[in-house]
Structure 1
């Protein structure tokens, strides 16, 4: 059985990017199990040996796709953050909506970027500033970090809340996962917990 190819093969000068895009399309259409170097090569319209010049096996291809996925994830969060109320609380709520919506719209890509090695990329990005996915989260959380406090405390609070909600949402725990967060009755009340972010806990 031969793999389908594009009618117009990609230009070899941008072959690496073409293979990554082909991989994302295969991942989206058929899932991680269907993502192979041979399938990517066929979709990009090149020989099955071509990917070896750009990636160190299937793990290298997955890592490259994850890097591209993180960049798209970052762009989605930035775009969502810019559309909401431009107060610290409004920006953090909008970022969380963008986080969830990206996962709903790109479930296979979202699963990949947090499941294969590149999860460490998100963690390594902690010191990379706004140019990274984690940097967007860090910048948005900054207004809630008290002087002398480790910023990772607030960042972890926010990340844990939205990442956990997102995984439960995708798993269908709250019902069919295909709906936008704006239409889900639990999103707003759960995200209301963000109002407590950065506040000192009550004394015992």
Structure 2
């Protein structure tokens, strides 16, 4: 009776969204290996055949979950940026905090979006606004791009720093967190490297 009631509660796009939510919940609980079409269907309260109408197998479900994950990731960085120091350098540090926060709060989803996700949800050509997660990063880096420098150089510096730190943190490389808002006493000292963003490139260009 309950299953029949649940099946009737989903309509059109609602079922697709419900399956994606179910997949994220399963990821949170058991990691990537626990994610299957049958488990998602059971969690959403629908027939095991239902996912076939919305996804091209497990790979399609994973890609859809990754797309939703990138949207959540983007929103986390925007929220961190908007509630932090509003100076240009404050934006970058806040963005990095949001980046690490998302990774710590959603380790399996964080791993999924960068291992199988449609990377154009993060990486994209220059475009206005915060259309994607990469758009958030690009906007924060823009004030520090020296004249004549490819913006991607600065963006990659910042991205590499926080992405590498996040992965090392999740792997337990730094040992246990001290419970602070920044998760680990190494966070701020390492992010201090951002103080010189664009400066070395500008100096090197002037010396040529």
Same structural fold, with TM-score higher than 0.5 when normalized by the shorter chain: yes
Is contact 2:70-2:113 (8 Å) kept? yes
SS in 1 for 2:122: helix
Tell me, yes or no, if structure 1 residue 11 matches structure 2 residue 10: yes
1:8-33 Cα distance to aligned partner (Å, 9 max, x none):
55523300000000000001101111
Q: Which residue of 2 aligns with 1:34?
A: 34
| Cα deviations by residue, 1:45-99 (Å, 9 ceiling, x for unpaired) | 1111110110000000000000000000000000000111100011100000000
Q: Report 1:52-201 matches (<5 A).
A: 52-119=52-119, 121-123=121-123, 125-129=124-128, 130-176=130-176, 179=179, 182-201=182-201
Task: Name whichever of 154-163 and 142-151 sits farther off.
Answer: 142-151
- The aligned length equals 199
Q: Is the 8 A contact 2:71 2:133 kept in 1?
A: yes
- The answer as to whether partners of 1:145 and 1:151 remain within 8 angstroms in 2 is yes
Contact 2:6–2:45, Cα closer than 8 Å, also in 1: yes
Q: What TM-score comes out, normalization by structure 2 length?
A: 0.88
Instruction: Specify whether residues 178 and 25 from structure 1 end up closer, same or farther in structure 2 by C-alpha distance, changes over 3 A only.
Output: farther
Q: How far apart in 1 are the matches of 2:164 and 2:81?
A: 19
CA contact (8 A) 1:171 1:177 kept: no
Distance between the aligned counterparts of 1:111 and 1:57, measured in 2? Answer: 20
CA offset digits 1:113-163 (Å, max 9, x no partner): 01114245422x243442100000000000001122100000000000000
SS in 2 for 1:182: coil
Partner Cα distance (1:180, 1:134) in 2: 27
Question: SS of 1:40's equivalent?
Answer: helix
**Contact 1:67–1:113 (CA under 8 A) maintained in structure 2:** yes
Separation in structure 1 between the aligned mates of residue 165 and residue 88 of structure 2, nearest angstrom: 21
Contact 2:121 2:133 in 1 (8 A): no
Give the Å deviation of 1:184.
1.4
Q: Distance in 2 between matches of 1:58 and 1:178?
A: 38
The answer for unaligned runs of 5 or more in structure 1 is: none
* Structure 1 vs Structure 2 CA RMSD: 2.1
